[in-house]
Amino acid sequence: MFERRATRQIHLGTVAVGGGAPITVQSMTTTKTADVEGTLQQIYALAAAGCDIVRCTCNEPEAAEGLARIVPRSPLPIVADIHHQYKMALAAMEAGVHGLRLNPGNIRRPEHIKAVASEARDRGLPIRIGVNGGSLDPALYDKHGGLTAAAMVESAMQEMAYFDEVGFEAVKISVKASNVPLMVEAYRMLADATDAPLHLGVTEAGPPPAGLVKSTAGIATLLLEGIGDTIRYSLTADPVEEARAGRQLLEALGLRERKNVDLIACPSCGRAEIDVIDVANRAQAAFADREIPLQIAVMGCVVNGPGEAREADLGIAAGNKRGHLFVKGRNVAVVPEDEMVEALVEWADFICENGTDAAIARADTARAEREAQRDRAKLLDDRGDDANNSEQRIVEIRRTIS
């Protein structure tokens, strides 16, 4: 669909970034890194939600010691986030982390940058140059007359030059800003200036839904231009939400295979026979982060639902106090309305284990189709094509005001 920009490849533990590797999802723990059990719990939840790489702050000696205990038990490669104190980068490497993130805006002394890069080179560890609009080097801010795309790119290239001096090459770069057009411009500029893999993100995007919208606007725009090798949603929310959002974006763009349920649901309308929002939310909670790579539909009415969601692997549509289950558009079963979610979970498990053909083969499709037809006909009879009774309302309105 779109050509991806050719980049160098680096590795964080066993996870490749750049060089044609699948685009990865990142997030960051919000626990104190010294809290080993709490941090590991969050890392496991992130892994279940589709996260590939996790970052933990390393801001104090206790955090570095925590990392030494976390790294051997972590299911994901760990990047230590370093600000201000270059010695924390050295301590994190000693703790066994798989990579570092340095902020060039607040670790500025060349001898410190080169000491970290030399150590990372010797240990074979990658470093992300993480430029952040909010903490740009003041000298560059002044030189460019404020926060500009060129200033952020120059900050990254300056850091790269220090890395080059000590022969360090395993680098990836981010130039994040909270302003979406600025962030997009900076990444485009950076993509022209280097073949290093790029880590995309809109920094300080805020809480959902605005944070999700801003992040998606920036990240998706660049991904569709072939720019970007790894992504992070920076939300003011549980980091699991960040991982889910990142994963869902990549799946929606066809850049990663589906891992969890892709729950689709109709927006509901006057025809809806159930509270679609409630049923969809309960289904979402029931599937949560289970590894069921199916598209599952919740549709408000059997009149239009099965047709509108015929591409889904599995779906259910309400009608006449019953739930009509369909697999790849074929009616397969009818269940009481209050068992719709349980039925979806049971059929999803069956399809996951045995495939859609086996699910259709085990069903009495002729009977299920007859039942669906009957409920569809009854609804059309009862309500007609105009579910909102608009014509009747208009007559009433006219009578009221005449």
Residue 301 beta carbon to ligand SF4: minimum distance, rounded to whole angstroms = 3
CA separation for the pair 12, 77 (Å, rounded): 6
Shortest distance, CB of residue 317 to ligand SF4, whole angstroms? Answer: 7
| Residues in 379-398 that interact with ligand SF4 by CB under 6 A | none
Half-sphere exposure of 41 (CA within 13 A, CB side): 8
Minimum distance, C-beta of residue 401 to ligand SF4, in the bound complex (Å): 30
Determine if the peptide bond prior to 104 is cis (ω within 30°).
Answer: no
H-helix or E-strand spanning residue 171: strand 171-176
> Minimum Å distance from CB 308 to ligand SF4?
5
Q: What are the counts of helices (DSSP H) followed by strands (DSSP E) for the chain?
A: 15, 15
Size of site (CB under 6 A) for ligand SF4: 13
Q: What is the contact mask toward ligand SF4 in residues 120 to 139, using x (rule: CB under 6 A)?
A: --------------------
Q: Are 176 and 201 in contact (CB under 8 A)?
A: yes
Q: Kindly tell me which residue out of 60, 308, 337, 342 binds ligand SF4, with binding defined by CB under 6 A.
A: 308
- Which CB sits closer to ligand SF4, 308 or 369? 308
| Beta carbon of residue 271, minimum distance to ligand SF4 (angstroms, whole number) | 4
61/82 Cα distance (integer angstroms): 12
Name the minimum Å distance from CB 371 to ligand SF4. 17
Q: Which of 295, 304, 356, 365 binds ligand SF4 (CB under 6 A)?
A: 304
* Closest residue to ligand SF4 using C-beta atoms: 300
Distance CA 303, CA 319 (A): 8
Between residue 220 and residue 279, which ones bind ligand SF4 under the rule CB under 6 A? 266-269, 271-272
* 53 lies in the site for ligand SF4, by CB under 6 A: no
**Residues sharing a CB contact under 8 Å with residue 122, sequence separation 6 or more, in sequence order:** none
Give 67 or 302: the residue with its C-beta nearer to ligand SF4.
302
Least Cβ distance, residue 275 to ligand SF4 (angstroms): 11
Nearer to ligand SF4, 76 or 316 (CB): 316
354 or 388: CB nearest ligand SF4 = 388
Q: Which amino acid is at 222?
A: L
Residue among 126, 201, 239, 305 that touches ligand SF4 (CB under 6 A): 305
* Phi and psi torsions of 335, nearest 5°: -130, 160
Phi/psi of residue 92, nearest 5 degrees: -65, -40
Q: Which of residues 274-303 bind ligand SF4 (CB under 6 A)?
A: 299-301, 303
Minimum CB separation of residue 349 from ligand SF4 in Å reads 25
CA count, 13 A, side-chain hemisphere, 115: 13
Q: What angle do CA 98, 103, 108 make, to 5 degrees?
A: 120
For residue 312, the 8-state DSSP code is S
Distance (Å, whole) CA 229 – CA 19: 8
Q: Which residues contribute to the site for ligand SF4 (CB under 6 A)?
A: 266-269, 271-272, 299-301, 303-305, 308
